[in-house]
A and B are shown apart, each in its own frame.
Chain A
Amino acid sequence: MSKILIIADHDGSNLNAATAKCVACANQIAGAEIHVAIFAEDGSAVAAQASALDAVSKVLKVDNPANKSPLAAVIAPQVTAIAAGYTHVFGASTTFGKDLMPRVAALLGVNQISDLMEVVDAHTFKRPIYAGNAIVTVESPADQITVATVRTASFTASGQGGSATIEFAAVTAAIPTHTRYIELKAGKSDRPDLQTASTVVSGGRALGSAEKFQLIYDLADALGAGVGASRAAVDAGYVPNELQVGQTGKIIAPELYIAIGISGAIQHITGIKDAGTIVAINKDEDAPIFEIADIGLVGDLFSVVPELQAALK
């Protein structure tokens, strides 16, 4: 039988929605017993949220002052210390999970399956490669622990009708001091979070400047949407890095995605493949984005967007 340990992604007080999707993924393995581990300075608040997730039977709280900040080098040896007895260890494909899980895998002496997108059975999974141009089915050896990161856009979050027991887990692990946390500069925004928003409006290089990118923010606000961007818009400094959507940014699955002045490079498209409806506004009718858009509008964004904004009033 499968016994799965999921490493919670959190900010000290709130459980990241990605963890609920990770639980949903684990729950697709038949008969799995699912535990969630929380590494924090004081994991009480996060543990309460994790215990409410359907399909979770136990929450392990690993409280330690060293776990105040999400440092992979600090947390990995503690994960390894509690991993014995589990058949699988999963983390979300967030930057926290991507940083931590390969370190855990290497300490356990196994490989990692990155961006798991579909469960075939307890040891067979699908994952995207080549920026999503191909999907590969992989098999992990049944006699080894399976370590994976979960592509959260592929799963619907686990419900919240659960009531798992919460336990304090004592961990003996040598915690290194060679890695020290300094600070986090988090973008502050009252808008819906890009990763969980049901509507996302994204802007590309065509916006031309940070000032003009305001058009995108205004439209997003009119729609109650989150804001995203192409790599070109981030590189040009119109918006901060956390707004990048794509192969190397965020992989998202909103119900509605509106791409404005974005050409539709494969590296961008791979981040929105699971969106419900894709709208493209671009002045070039041959832009590749139109190949995958459900609704396309050929036009100059500097006239179309204000017009759309007005129509929404």
Chain B
Amino acid sequence: MDKILVGLKRVVDYNVRVRVKSDGSGVDIEGAKMSINPFDEIALEEALRIKERGEASEVIVVSIGPSEAQQQLRTGLAMGADRAILIETGETIDALTGAKILLEVVKKESPDLVIVGKQAIDNDNNQTAQMLAALWDRPQATFASKVEFSDGVAKVTREVDVGLETIEIDLPAVISADLRLNEPRYVKLPDIMKAKKKPLEQIPVADLGIEIGEQIKEVKFEAPAQRQKGIVVQDVAGLVAALKDKGLL
């Protein structure tokens, strides 16, 4: 295959414990460490491995986001992507709009495969791959834990509630990466230097002629109900007694 397109979203790092602003207007992420969405990192790693096996010739990373998302794209380039595209916008993009934007990039680049993470760890939506596949009228293989190719067909093993499901999809197609698809590589310093010279194209979202706006309004944010810290028992006898006390044994 020729090109693989990988979506990289800039999100708050998974180690950061975000808090809701006291006025309920949003989530406080001021100054928080930002990273590539971990699932997207897995998506990129897979694309790179496919290319390194000689099964693809180019890996393009694309992000929709603020100018700062260049950092995540540079990290993607340092991991090994060949070039990057930033669809620049300062606004929050809902999943459907995001999929429409990606579809424009797909039309321009005609990739044989698009790989994205199964969900972004900020809004936990789990929608982008499915929506892009629908709009593109192409197959989707979500929650992938293994991918193999032969003759324009991908055989994908998917993590489903009851076990592992295998499906076959004709390319071009969209795959969403689950945790166990691979373990992403670490970026090495020389690669970071090299990545600075790789092409990164910035396209203002307005140039795509897509209407931006939130269909679904986020009206209020609140902290989740907290569980209270309970009792500590000294030994197994104490545990059994506590469980009996609660009528659980």
Contacts and interface: CB of A to CB of B under 8 A. Distances in A.
A35 interface: no
Interface string A300-312: 0000100110011
B231 A295 contact: yes
A64 interface: no
A179 B232 contact: no
B212 interface: no
A277 B167 CA distance: 39
A311 B163 CA distance: 33
B143 A95 contact: yes
B167 A290 contact: no
Nearest to B176: A99
Nearest to B28: A134
The residue in B170, B216, B243 that gathers the most chain A C-beta atoms within 10 A of its C-beta is B216
Interface string B144-186: 0100000000010011111111111110010000111000000
Contacts of B131: 102-103, 105-106
Contacts of A191: none
Contacts of B242: 295
B164 A178 contact: no
B96 A105 contact: yes
A297 B217 CA distance: 44
A50 to B, nearest CB: 19
A99 B130 contact: yes
A185 B179 contact: no
Interface in A124-150: 124, 128-141, 144
Contact of B95 (A102, A138, A279, A297): A102
Given A73-B140, A102-B95, A308-B240, A179 B221 contact: no
Interface string A219-263: 000000000000100110000111000011010000110000000
A100 to B, nearest CB: 8
A248 B242 CA distance: 31
Given A107-B134, A133-B18, A102 B126 contact: yes
B162 A242 contact: yes
Given A102-B131, A186-B163, A311-B237, A131 B124 contact: yes
A270 B225 CA distance: 11
Contacts of A112: 95-96, 125, 127
B124 A129 contact: yes
B18 A138 contact: no
A110 interface: yes
Interface string B231-242: 111111111101
Contact of A248 (B122, B133, B179): B179
Secondary structure of the B side of the interface?
mixed
A71 B221 contact: no
Contacts of B17: 133, 266
Band of interface residues on B: 35 or more
Nearest to A18: B161
B189 interface: no
A95 B179 contact: no
Interface in B50-87: none
B160 A114 contact: no
B163 A240 contact: yes
B135 interface: yes
A152 B127 CA distance: 18
A273 interface: yes
A109 B215 CA distance: 11
Contact of A295 (B19, B162, B223, B243): B243
Nearest to A306: B236
A291 interface: yes
A299 B164 CA distance: 35
Interface in B204-249: 215-225, 227-240, 242-243, 246, 248-249
B232 A297 contact: yes
A99 B94 CA distance: 18
B236 A297 contact: yes
A278 interface: yes
Contacts of B124: 114-115, 128-131, 247
Contact of B12 (A107, A128, A130, A299): A130
14 contacts: A102-B131, A103-B133, A111-B96, A130-B121, A130-B124, A133-B20, A133-B27, A133-B223, A136-B221, A140-B215, A178-B169, A182-B155, A292-B229, A296-B233
Given A95-B161, A137-B218, A311-B236, 16 more contacts: A72-B140, A101-B130, A102-B134, A103-B134, A103-B140, A133-B19, A136-B221, A241-B180, A242-B163, A273-B224, A278-B227, A295-B239, A297-B235, A297-B236, A298-B232, A312-B240
Interface of A: 11, 71-73, 76, 94-96, 98-107, 109-115, 124, 128-141, 144, 176, 178-187, 195, 199, 231, 234-235, 240-242, 247-248, 250, 255-256, 266-267, 273, 277-279, 290-299, 304, 307-308, 311-312
Which 4 A-B pairs rank lowest in CB-CB distance, beginning with the nearest? A294-B230, A102-B130, A106-B134, A102-B127
